[in-house]
A and B are shown apart, each in its own frame.
Chain A
Amino acid sequence: MKIHEYQAKELLRKYNVPTPRGEVAETPEQVREIAERFGGVVAVKAQVHIGGRGKAGGIKVAKNPEEAEEKARQILGMDIKGFTVNKVLVEEGIDIKEEYYLGVIVDREAGRNAVMVSSAGGMDIEEVAAETPEKIAKAWAYPGRGLLPFQINRLIFDAGINPAVRKEAAQFLRALFDCYLGVDATLAEINPLVVTGDGKVIAADAKIDIDDNAMFRHPDLEAYRDEEGAENPLDAEARRRGINYVHLGGEVGIIGNGAGLVMATLDEVKRAGGNAANFLDIGGGAQADLVANSLDLVLSDPNVKGVVFNIFGGITRGDEVAKGILEGVGRLDVKVPIVVRLTGTNEEEGRAILRGSQVIPAETMQEAAREIVRRSRE
Chain B
Amino acid sequence: MSILLNKETKVIVQAITGREGGFHARLMKEYGTQVVGGVTPGKGRQTVLDDVPVFNTVKQAVEETGATASCIFVRAEHNAADAVMEAADAQVPLIVCITEGIPQQDMVKAVDFVKQQGVRLIGGNCPGLITPGDAKIGIMPGHIHTPGPVGIVSRSGTLTYEVVVNLSRVGIGQTTVVGIGGDPILGTRFVDVLPLFEADPETKAVVLCGEIGGSDEEVAAEYIKSMTKPVVSFISGRTAPEGKRMGHAGAIISGRSGTPQAKVDALNAAGATVADSLADIPDMVQKLLS
Q: A residues bordering B, Cβ < 8 Å?
A: 106, 108-109, 111-113, 126, 129-130, 143-144, 181, 184, 186, 211-214, 216-217, 244, 246, 248, 256-264, 266-268, 270-271, 276, 279, 281, 284, 312-315, 343-345, 364-366
Contacts and interface: CB of A to CB of B under 8 A. Distances in A.
Given A260-B211, A263-B237, A345-B141, A268 B277 contact: yes
B112 to A, nearest CB: 4
B65 to A, nearest CB: 27
Contact of A213 (B104, B234, B241, B255): B104
Given A344-B161, A345-B141, A365-B162, A106 B156 contact: no
A248 B244 contact: yes
Task: Report which residue of A143, A144, A244 has the largest number of chain B beta carbons within 10 angstroms of its beta carbon.
Answer: A143
Contacts of A263: 156, 159, 211-212, 236-237, 240, 246-247, 251
B284 to A, nearest CB: 15
Contact of A246 (B160, B162, B239, B246): B246
Nearest to A248: B241
B214 A314 contact: no
A213 B249 contact: yes
Contact of A264 (B108, B141, B236): B236
A144 B85 CA distance: 13
Interface string B221-254: 0000000000000101111110011111111000
Contacts of B186: 111
Contact of A281 (B105, B106, B108, B247): B247
A314 B216 CA distance: 26
B101 interface: yes
Given A211-B103, A345-B141, 4 more contacts: A108-B216, A260-B236, A261-B159, A314-B161
Contact of A271 (B156, B234, B277): B277
A8 B249 CA distance: 22
A111 B111 contact: yes
B288 interface: no
B276 A271 contact: yes
Interface in B150-172: 154-162, 165
Given A279-B246, A343-B165, A216 B251 contact: no
Contacts of B161: 312, 314, 344
A264 B105 CA distance: 29
Nearest to A256: B158
Nearest to B24: A315
B139 A111 contact: no
Interface of B: 76-77, 101-109, 111-113, 139-141, 144, 154-162, 165, 182, 184-186, 209, 211-212, 214-216, 219, 234, 236-241, 244-251, 255-256, 276-279
Contact of B279 (A184, A248, A343, A364): A364
7 contacts: A108-B184, A109-B216, A143-B113, A186-B104, A214-B106, A261-B162, A263-B156
A364 B163 CA distance: 12
Contact of A111 (B103, B112, B209): B112
A344 to B, nearest CB: 6
Contacts of B154: 260
Contacts of B162: 261, 264, 312, 365
A213 B247 contact: no
B156 A213 contact: no
Task: Report which residue of A216, A244, A271, A279 has the largest number of chain B beta carbons within 10 angstroms of its beta carbon.
Answer: A279
A259 B182 contact: yes
A216 B105 CA distance: 14
A244 B244 CA distance: 12
Contacts of A112: 108, 112
Given A126-B256, A267-B238, A345-B141, A143 B108 contact: yes
B247 A259 contact: yes
Task: Report which residue of A144, A213, A248, A284 has the largest number of chain B beta carbons within 10 angstroms of its beta carbon.
Answer: A213
A233 to B, nearest CB: 16
Contacts of B214: 108-109
Contacts of B277: 267-268, 271, 366
Contacts of B241: 248
Contacts of A366: 277-279
A144 B105 CA distance: 10
A257 B161 CA distance: 11
A143 B85 CA distance: 13
Contacts of B139: 284, 314-315
B240 A213 contact: no
- What are the 4 closest A-B residue pairs judged by CB atoms, nearest first? A260-B156, A259-B247, A258-B158, A260-B159
A228 B279 CA distance: 41
Contacts of A244: 247
A126 B156 CA distance: 28
A262 B185 contact: no
Given A126-B256, A312-B162, A260 B209 contact: yes
Contacts of B211: 259-260, 263
Task: Report which residue of B101, B246, B276 has the largest number of chain A beta carbons within 10 angstroms of its beta carbon.
Answer: B246
B60 to A, nearest CB: 26
B110 to A, nearest CB: 9
B157 to A, nearest CB: 5
Given A108-B250, A257-B158, A261-B159, A144 B103 contact: no
B159 A213 contact: no
Nearest to B218: A109
Contacts of A257: 158
